[in-house]
């Protein structure tokens, strides 16, 4: 099987692993576009809603009572009273818009995509390389305490809650397990430092390309 040259890298990350910062440095090293909050901006623009509203739905599920009421009101008996789907803005709508933006930007290429199910959206697509960034609990606690000193005592709870929300959203909107190792080409512990991480990504892509070329010859 011939593998196309990598033109898109997705970076999924545990909360507190500093995966977003790594993605920023990786994009800078490669000279590629970084798509992080830019995905939210694009979704908000397409839905004609304020960006701060879109941010409230970032990597979350709609509340259970909202999902329940939506099913209820979409019953045929009440269907005439419902709003068109493209006029409603919620987590489901935002993920649909973000997924389309990811697919569109992947066609352009030369971009690093952070979170929001990028690896799931582009699973099996040629020219894509998927990275998952994690860290030790001690490293994540330290990051959280420095970033949110007033909430340091709740570090463990907040760290786990964020990751649970991310996992639930990916499962709901992509039908994939967020932390399934088989979905990623490379798993990186951010404790090794960004420079080493970037070298690992570049090296893995080079090896992958060399193996593909050898198989094709």
What is the structure's pLDDT at 56? 72
Dihedrals phi, psi of 24, to nearest 5 degrees? -60, -45
| pTM as predicted | 0.82
Q: Range of 79's domain? A: 8-216
What tens digit of pLDDT does each residue of 75-134 get? 444 444 455 455 566 778 888 889 999 999 999 999 999 999 999 999 989 999 999 999
Given a cut of 80, is residue 160 above it in pLDDT?
Answer: yes
Neighbours of 19 (CB within 10 A): 24
Pick from 65-69, 175-179, 210-214 the range whose average pLDDT is largest: 175-179
- Residue 2 forms part of a structural domain: no
Predicted confidence (pLDDT) at residue 67 exceeds the cutoff of 50: no
Say what the pLDDT of residue 23 is.
97
Would residue 209 count as lying in a domain? yes
Predicted pLDDT of residue 90: 75
When pLDDT is averaged across residues 30-54 and rounded to a whole number, the result is 86
Domain count, the chain: 1
- In DSSP terms, which residues pair with 133 in a beta bridge? 13, 188
Which contiguous run of DSSP H or E holds residue 187? strand 186-189
- Structure confidence at residue 184 (pLDDT): 96
Residue 16 structure tokens: 């507190």
Q: What is the mean pLDDT of residues 11-32?
A: 96
3-state secondary structure of 132: strand
Crossing angle between the packed helical segments 37-47 and 91-108, to the nearest 10 degrees: 110
In a domain, 60, yes or no: yes
Check which CATH number belongs to the domain holding 95 and give it. 3.40.50.300
Looking at the chain, the number of H-run helices and the number of E-run strands are 9, 5
- Of 217 and 123, the one with more pLDDT: 123
Distance of CA 185 to the CA centre of its chain: 15
pLDDT band per the 50, 70, 90 thresholds, residue 45? confident
Residue 154 inside a domain? The answer is yes
Question: Which residues, including other chains, have CB under 8 Å from residue 86's CB and lie 6 or more apart?
Answer: 93
Tell me whether residue 206 is in a domain: yes
Asked whether residue 170 is assigned to any structural domain, the reply reads yes
């Amino acid at each position: 099987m011939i593998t196309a040259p990598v033109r898109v890298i997705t970076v999924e990350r545990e909360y507190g692993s500093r995966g977003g910062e790594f993605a920023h440095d990786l994009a800078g090293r490669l000279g590629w576009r970084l798509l992080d909050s830019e995905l939210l901006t694009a979704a908000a623009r397409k839905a004609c809603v304020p960006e701060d509203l879109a941010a409230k739905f970032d990597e979350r599920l709609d509340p259970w009572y909202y999902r329940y009421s939506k099913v209820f009101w979409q019953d045929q008996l009440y269907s005439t009273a419902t709003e068109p789907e493209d006029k409603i803005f919620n987590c489901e709508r935002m993920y649909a818009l973000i997924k389309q933006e990811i697919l569109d930007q992947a066609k352009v290429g030369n971009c690093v995509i952070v979170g929001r199910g990028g690896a799931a959206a582009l699973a099996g697509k040629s020219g894509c390389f998927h990275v998952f960034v994690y860290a030790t609990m001690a490293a994540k606690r330290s990051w959280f305490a420095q970033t949110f000193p007033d909430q340091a005592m709740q570090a463990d709870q907040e760290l786990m809650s964020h990751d649970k929300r991310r996992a639930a959203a990916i499962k709901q909107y992509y039908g994939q397990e967020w932390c399934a190792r088989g979905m990623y080409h490379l798993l990186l512990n951010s404790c090794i430092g960004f420079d080493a991480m970037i070298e690992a990504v570049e090296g893995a892509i080079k090896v992958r390309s060399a193996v593909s070329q050898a198989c094709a010859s």
